[in-house]
Structures are given as C-alpha cells and as structure tokens.
Structure 1
C-alpha cells in the first residue's frame, strides 16, 4: 500500500512543480518548492503510522515541521506555505472531490518582524560617489556592473527582476529625460520603473555593442546567476569599506530613501511592486532623528 501512496504523492509533486515552471517562476523559487516537498515526501515515506496520501492532515504536517528540529520561524513559514500551496493544487485538480483547504486553514508559523537593513547615509554617499566616478580604462564588465548597481539602487527592483531585464525593455522618454524600464515582477505581473537619463546613459550606450539580449549577460553571452550578482556586489562593498551584505540591501535602501524624501507611500508601493501597502509601511517606521525633527517643527 505504501508504494502506491508514494506513487500518488510523486505524481502530484511532479505536476505541481511542472506548473510552476510553466508559469515561469524563478529558478530559486522552484528549487525552494522542490526541496521542501522532497523532504516532506521522505518524511511521509518513513512515517511509522501508514497514512494514505489523501488522509494527510494538519497534525501530520505539524509532526513533519516538528521533525525539522530547531529552525527559524521564517523557515517554518516557508515550509508551511509551500505545503499549503501544494495541497491547494491537489484540491483543485483531483478527481475525488477531496478538499484540503479546511484542514490547513489556520496553519501558520509566527514570524517575528524586524526592520530591514539598509545603507546608512554615509555608506550611500560612498556608493553613489563611486558610481559617479570615471571608468578607466573602459571595460565591458565595469560598465555592465555599474549599470546593474545603479538600476538596483535607484529603482529598488528585486535581484530576480534585474536578471530578467532585456535591452529592449529599457526605453528612453526624451521629453521626461528618463529611461522607462519594463519589469516582470512576482506572479508574472508587469510594472514599470523609471531612472534619470543622466544616471545610466553612459553605461547603457556603452554596453549596447556587447549585449545580445539581457543587460546582466556575461562576456560569454549567458545571463548572470543570482550567486554571481551577489558575489559582485559583495566584492565592491568590501572594496568600498561597506560592512554590510546582500543584494536586497539596495532595495531596502531605495525604499527608505523614498520615504525620507516624503514620496507618497502608494507611489513607493507601485514602484517596488508590493502587493500590500503594509509591506511598504516598514520603510515608514520612525527613527530617533525623525522624531527629534518632528518635535523641532512644533
């Protein structure tokens, strides 16, 4: 019986992951989904009490989460989210009329919210000064890297979104003196971000002669891996004496800068591609300097 149930599990898992690929989800997302379900599959196969696939319930999932040991709440939430998404898919397409949704309705891990890390004003100025300096000698990699960094820092897009930008997605709006960039965001939603012509014109025009399709191409014509993007930024930060890390740091810095410039939160939400304005609100939390400034205005 167990072998039959494992075959059922395997069938649904393959179909579920295949759907994610068809929907053009990022490779990292698909890998995360696969890793979670592979561990869940192994746990199911070794579970002492024989349980039919369609009998999997809340207590079984909690038992699996508990077996993972002392992991972070965010990691627990990832596992729960993937498993719930998987069984939502099974509920939708199984021919037996079995609905798992009610079984996992209140299943979630508590996530402790923390303020995002971003560049200090001093670190931001150091990075901007570097990006404004003259490139000598003229090098494809230096121009490409600067273009990538400027777009990340001055538009706040995600790393996965940056890696998906094609040369044709960047269009000059002469009257506005900005470049309009087409972004394919989460859930394949298209949005547009903008960056001043002066900010990237030199880099953009230079790499046109080297790039065949994507702006984040290597000298061999393939798109950079996310890990390569991370390493590139890490090396630069170390060189500039910035003791912080992560590509997402630039996105958080953009969000914080927009708030400091009193940009409307709804506008920031649209630019950053947030589904919920509550996500945007994390950049609006007051710090000590803001509170002191407010008091002085009384």
Structure 2
C-alpha cells in the first residue's frame, strides 16, 4: 500500500484553527504570519527552530518593519499557536526581543454638533450603523455581527455577544432610532423570505450552535440585522448564504460623509465609540458604568476618556485669558 504524502504544514494549521472554531479573520491572519515567519528563516521547518528564531523575527518586525505594538503581538500569538497547538512544542519565556513602541495618543472625540454634522451626510443602512456606534458605543464588528434576537425593543437595549473579551454585555438601544430600525428589520425580513423561497436563507452559526440547533441557521431570529446586499459562498463550508455587510462598505460611506461635513478631525468608525464614552462622562455617568457599557475588562482602559473632563491642558487657565 502506497503511503499517503505528508500533509503540508499550513493545511494542518488551518485544520487545527477550524477545530478550535477561531474566526475566519483570525485564520487568515495566523496563516499569513506563519508564512512570513517561515519566509524570514528561508523556509526552515519550525520544528528545527524555537525561541531564538521567534525572538529574531519579532525583533525584525519592530526594528526593520516598524510595525505597531498590536501588530507585533498578533504575530507572537500566531507563532505561539503554531508551536503549542499544532506542533505541540512548549515555548516559554519569550521576552527578549525589541518591543514595538505603543504610541501614547488620546482618542479622537467629536463634539455633539460634529457628530450631527457627519450624520447629515449619511443615509440608509450606513447611517443606521453609525448611529448605533455612537448611540450604543459599539465597535464596528459588533454592530455588523448583531442578530435579530440581540435587539430588545421592550427593554431598550442591545445584547452584544462574543465580544472582544468573549463575554456578553448589554448596552442601551437609542429611542431615536427605534422606528427606523423596526422599518429596516421589516425590509430585511422580506429579503430573508425571498432567500428561503429560492432555497437559500441560511446564515453562519458558530460550530457549537450549529451542532446544537441544526435548523437554526434558517430561523429569522438568527439572521444578521445588517445582511449583505448579495449572496456569497462561505470560504470554509462552500455553502451559499447571505453574510453581514462588509466593514469596508461602512468605512467608505463614512469617509465621504466626513469630507462633505468639513469636520477637521481624523474620523474613523471607532471615533463614534470614543465619542459615546466621552459624552456619557460629560453627562455625569460614573466611570464604572461606562466601563461596563464598553465591555472593558480593566477600568484603566476606560480612564483614557477622562481627559476631556479636564477641559484641556490639565484644567490650567492660560495666562493669555487673564
């Protein structure tokens, strides 16, 4: 009997990632970093390398690649996954490498009038998404991953699931947008019914849920609130279904709106989450409440927004104003 050819390393990595139910984005990111690591060491097999080679690669990223600290940490996570979960090799004490510097920057925050100025140049679904980022303090990925069942009109709240810290949290659903959101959901439901009639209508569910509830993927409550305008093939399963809107479509619409509004600040989707937190603090809400609404594990992360309460310049009165 002819022995089967050895499996390629990246194919094994991909299989382990999927067994652990990591997101598709994480899968693509980890595979890319592992490729870059192998390329940097001229294709040498990772079993023949270890801590020194990992440290050399991470140092290269910081010193020659000038990557951000978060990017360097992502590369380290990918390599630790490779060694610990795929090759089953213990790698301990990786600390002796050049660290990418974390820039100490205050978040960009819009005034309430600037928020409205940008909103005036947004329409339709894109406006509704940005309203949720500001009105509920969501990350863009959280807004786009919302399912029908996550909206609680009776309690005026949204339930944010599978967050960055893998913990669910609750955040307010603005009264201002509820009529618009209900109308939007009616339109989404009609599209879903049409998809079902054409033999489609399924939506992606995490593996554990798909196994536990085999027919839930076609259920209305599991559908995305902001579905894509077109059906597409799932890159993992090959199933044709309707995913949620892409982040880039919202980002492009926002960029145009900011240009038209003439707001002279560097504005991204995350700016509205920053503005949500800042405006709550200005309105007198305590830091712990804001921490919970944002889903921060450590209150130190939330403390960065308190700079606005100092009214600029550490509350020092300029001598020019005397």
Give the CA deviation at 1:77.
4.4
Q: Which runs of 5+ in 2 are unaligned?
A: 1-5, 190-222, 232-241, 318-322
- The answer to whether residue 86 in structure 2 is matched with residue 79 in structure 1 is no
RMSD across aligned C-alpha pairs, in angstroms?
Answer: 3.3
Question: Structure 1 CA distance, aligned partners of 2:268 and 2:101?
Answer: 24
- The answer to whether residue 152 in structure 2 is matched with residue 152 in structure 1 is no
Quick one: structure 1 residues 61 and 100, their matched pair in 2 at CA, closer, same or farther if it must change by over 3 Å?
same
Match of 1:36 in 2: 33
Quick one: structure 1 residues 64 and 180, their matched pair in 2 at CA, closer, same or farther if it must change by over 3 Å?
closer
Give the CA deviation at 1:88.
4.9
Match of 1:10 in 2: 10
Question: Structure 1 CA distance, aligned partners of 2:100 and 2:60?
Answer: 15
Q: Which runs of 5+ in 1 are unaligned?
A: 1-5, 132-140
Give the CA deviation at 1:206.
1.2
Kindly report which structure 2 residues correspond to 1:1-298, keeping only aligned pairs within 5 A, or say none. Answer: 9-10=9-10, 13-19=13-19, 22-23=21-22, 25=23, 27-44=24-41, 46=42, 53-68=46-61, 70-74=64-68, 77-88=70-81, 90-91=83-84, 94=87, 98-102=89-93, 104-105=94-95, 107=97, 108-127=99-118, 130=120, 142-173=123-154, 178-197=156-175, 199-212=176-189, 213-220=223-230, 222=242, 223-243=244-264, 244-285=266-307, 289=311, 291-292=314-315
Structure-1-length-normalised TM-score: 0.74
Match of 2:194 in 1: none
Equivalent pairs counted in the alignment come to: 265
Quick one: structure 1 residues 8 and 59, their matched pair in 2 at CA, closer, same or farther if it must change by over 3 Å?
farther
Question: Structure 2 CA distance, aligned partners of 1:220 and 1:93?
Answer: 36
Give the CA deviation at 1:14.
2.8
Question: Structure 2 CA distance, aligned partners of 1:94 and 1:72?
Answer: 29
- Partners of 2:72 and 2:100 within 8 A in 1: no
- Partners of 2:67 and 2:100 within 8 A in 1: yes
Question: Structure 2 CA distance, aligned partners of 1:220 and 1:268?
Answer: 37
Give the CA deviation at 1:268.
1.3
- Partners of 2:140 and 2:247 within 8 A in 1: yes
1:199-221 Cα distance to aligned partner (Å, 9 max, x none): 11221121122113322224446
Match of 2:239 in 1: none
Question: Structure 1 CA distance, aligned partners of 2:27 and 2:104?
Answer: 25
- The structure 1 segments of at least 4 consecutive aligned residues displaced by more than 4 Å after TM superposition are 6-9, 66-69, 92-95, 105-108
Higher RCO (C-alpha 8 Å, min separation 6): 2
Residue aligned with 2:275, SS: helix
